[in-house]
Structure 1
Amino acid sequence: MTRTWTPGDADAALSAIAATPRLVVALDFDGTASPLVPDPMAARALPEVAEQVARLAALPDTVVAYVSGRSMDDLRVITEHTDDALIALAGSHGAQYWYPGVGAAEPDATGTAEGSREELWEAARPIIDRYEGAELEPKTFGMGVHTRTATPEVEKAVFAEIDALVAERFPHWRRRAGHRVLEFSSRAEGKDAAMTALREHFDATAILFAGDDVTDEDAMRVLSGDDLGVRVGPGESAAALRVESPQQIALLLETLADERASLRE
């Protein structure tokens, strides 16, 4: 059962994960580290979130990773990620990775559905262009259809047409629906795969994962043992804790960083 975390309150689960020997803090980006904004490429982490991410990444035996549906190139832009960054990245819902000290890891060639992304873009673009407020986001393994500035009626109509297109021509592609976005990928990976990859790469004894969307529940459901899931905002969730906003994520990360730093003094 998901319980609401109140900033300033002690929480046994948060204290326990602060004490784990090797910690991975994995954060969704849009709606978690950053508020949702009309222009997806204008998203940036809240300054208070970025500050706590930097604090955590500087602690011994502690890794911070952004885990996103964004393609790696776009994820590096919005996270303001540099080649010497200490922050790990998992893009395309766990199909792409960037590790500190290593760089980009080539994705596994398996798991790609039939049809090319260019064919999908070419078929979808005339549909999307007919709807005001709908935007096509080309992705490494597919596309996203954003409707953040569209009316609910437009969103329903454009999503229905795109669903029909994909069902007819790209039936094996993975479909994901999120906050004002519909995505299709030729890859089968979800954020559950990202949890496994990050755990193995960093030999983590526990993962704290925070996310706000339906796609983040893939990751929440595979957390176990000493892990901790944090849901941002409303909605059913497998997470143990819930916070109201990215601003509260910053406060939760601050509490985690304070407790973890004190244990290493």
Structure 2
Amino acid sequence: MAGIAASALLLVALDFDGTLSPLEDEPMDARMLPAARAAIDALVAAPRTIVAFVSGRSLVDLRVIAEHDDYSQVLLAGSHGAEFWIPGQGVVAHGEDQGDVRLRDMLRTHAEEATAHLDGVWIEPKTFGFGVHTRRAEPSAAHEANRLVDAIIAEEAPHWRRRTGHNIVEYAFRHEGKDSAIAELRERTDASAVLFAGDDVTDEDALRSLREGDLGVHVGTGPTAATLSVPDIEALARLLSVIAAERSARRQ
């Protein structure tokens, strides 16, 4: 960690749900814990330090839950790196084909119709696809929802990317991942080192993509490609606060 704290230009890239905010039954209720917000504010204020949130959420939803406004210095990578928000530029989106958009809307409707009878299942619209949320569903209903939607995608869009997370399966016509998001953020910022932290299966792509001199942090338990694991959001906030303090001390 000492090397990260001393790096010439540090990019701190962080997943949001489960990493800075507790997972919520209603996804749009997610907000950063106070300790996490304080750590982010300290990092933003630290010299030669850039902060980014990297999420599977669509950019518009990520801005809401992160309480992110046009004056923020925090970079955003939404939709697993298919959409960006950059200070001074605003939204930077990679183009989309109208045929893909029409197919997205049709398949989302099919998924909603196929799962409407299953209690606790919710289809979340996303910019480049949709997600099947099952946090509030019984295991049998969750299994059936995923089976039904998997069959729809296999039949109508077998080329789409499928991702699994905590009680969600996401489908998208774009194939960017958090690894490509980190690569683009690294290039945009010219960072000399990257700290990436996440808690979910989709974060492992980014963790595996890190280079020598970077630091990967896993929030929670279980197997991971991360160099370091912390038990929860509060522990991550303490780690980030220490790094912010060390980088600020170097300005003294």
Corresponding residue of 2:242: 255
Corresponding residue of 1:201: 188
1:160 is matched with which residue: 133, 137, 147? 147
Q: Which runs of 4+ in 1 moved over 6 A?
A: none
Corresponding residue of 1:25: 12
2:228 is matched with which residue: 231, 241, 244? 241
Q: C-alpha offsets along residues 143-199 of structure 1, whole Å, 9 cap, x if unaligned?
A: 001111111221111111111111011111000011000000010100011111110
Between the aligned partners of 2:243 and 2:140, the Cα distance in structure 1 is 42
Task: List aligned pairs for 1:169-180, cutoff 5 A.
Answer: 169-180=156-167
Normalising by structure 2, we get a TM-score of: 0.96
1:148 is matched with which residue: 116, 128, 135? 135
**Contact 2:53–2:74 (CA under 8 A) maintained in structure 1:** yes
Corresponding residue of 1:214: 201
| Residue ranges of structure 1 left out of the alignment (5+ in a row) | 1-13
Between the aligned partners of 1:248 and 1:234, the Cα distance in structure 2 is 13
Corresponding residue of 2:179: 192
Corresponding residue of 1:3: none
Q: Does 1:124 align with 2:108?
A: no
Q: What secondary structure sits across from 2:81 in the alignment?
A: coil
Cα RMSD of the aligned pairs, angstroms, is: 1.4
Alignment-mate amino acid for residue 189 of structure 1:
E
Q: C-alpha offsets along residues 10-35 of structure 1, whole Å, 9 cap, x if unaligned?
A: xxxx1210110001100100000001
Q: C-alpha offsets along residues 231-253 of structure 1, whole Å, 9 cap, x if unaligned?
A: 01122111000011111111111
Normalising by structure 1, we get a TM-score of: 0.92
Q: Does 1:88 align with 2:75?
A: yes
Between the aligned partners of 1:35 and 1:114, the Cα distance in structure 2 is 31
Task: List aligned pairs for 1:19-98, cutoff 5 A.
Answer: 19-98=6-85
Corresponding residue of 1:135: 122
Corresponding residue of 1:8: none
Q: What secondary structure sits across from 1:116 in the alignment?
A: helix
Compare 148-157 and 80-89 and name the one that shifted more.
Answer: 148-157
Between the aligned partners of 2:87 and 2:42, the Cα distance in structure 1 is 16
Between the aligned partners of 1:30 and 1:152, the Cα distance in structure 2 is 22
Q: What secondary structure sits across from 1:97 in the alignment?
A: strand
**Contact 1:206–1:227 (CA under 8 A) maintained in structure 2:** yes
| Residue ranges of structure 2 left out of the alignment (5+ in a row) | none
Between the aligned partners of 2:213 and 2:174, the Cα distance in structure 1 is 29
**Contact 1:65–1:87 (CA under 8 A) maintained in structure 2:** yes
Q: What secondary structure sits across from 1:235 in the alignment?
A: coil
Corresponding residue of 2:88: 101
Compare 223-232 and 100-109 and name the one that shifted more.
Answer: 100-109
**Contact 1:113–1:187 (CA under 8 A) maintained in structure 2:** no
Alignment-mate amino acid for residue 145 of structure 2:
V
Distance 1:113 1:214, change over 3 A: farther
Corresponding residue of 2:2: 15
1:182 is matched with which residue: 153, 169, 176? 169
**Contact 1:114–1:170 (CA under 8 A) maintained in structure 2:** no
* Percent identity for Structure 1 against Structure 2: 50
Q: What secondary structure sits across from 1:93 in the alignment?
A: helix
Corresponding residue of 1:7: none
- Using the TM superposition, give the Cα deviation of residue 101 of structure 1 relative to its aligned residue in structure 2, in angstroms: 1.5
Between the aligned partners of 1:185 and 1:130, the Cα distance in structure 2 is 24
